[in-house]
Amino acid sequence: QQPVQSPQAVILREGEDAVINCSSSKALYSVHWYRQKHGEAPVFLMILLKGGEQKGHEKISASFNEKKQQSSLYLTASQLSYSGTYFCGTTYNFNKFYFGSGTKLNVKP
């Protein structure tokens, strides 16, 4: 039932870009993105509430295609601090929040 993310893992050099995809077999009405560093709790990055919405800052942004039931997270000019596991997530029923399968990002110097 959880959203599926791709790729499962990615290794980048500092300054490189990455795209993480999140897709759902069920209708998506909103998408959250979180980053979790090893041994820590997930930290909220952003939420997209409407199809076609794009959000974020210059270097970390996301888009949401409601019709395709997909969202993508864009990481531009990656920094070492971007390393961690990224999770998308969504609420299928009110309050039932499910995380996606996760994408492990490793940024190397």
Partner 1 sequence: DTEVTQTPKHLVMGMTNKKSLKCEQHMGHRAMYWYKQKAKKPPELMFVYSYEKLSINESVPSRFSPECPNSSLLNLHLHALQPEDSALYLCASSRQGNEKLFFGSGTQLSVL
Minimum CB separation of residue 2 from partner 1 in Å reads 7
Site string for partner 1, 60-89 (x = CB under 8 A): ---------------------------x-x
Whether cis (ω within 30° of 0) applies to the bond prior to 7 is: yes
Tell whether residue 43 is a contact of partner 1 (CB under 8 A): yes
The two most distant CA atoms of the chain are separated, in Å, by: 42
37 binds partner 1 per the rule CB under 8 A = no
Taking the CA of residue 10 as centre, how many other CA atoms within 13 Å lie in the half-sphere pointing to its CB?
Answer: 22
In this structure, are residues 12 and 107 in contact, taking their beta carbons and an 8 Å threshold?
Answer: yes
Which CB atom, from 45 or from 75, has the smaller least distance to partner 1? 45
- The answer to whether residue 106 forms part of the interface with partner 1 (CB under 8 A) is no
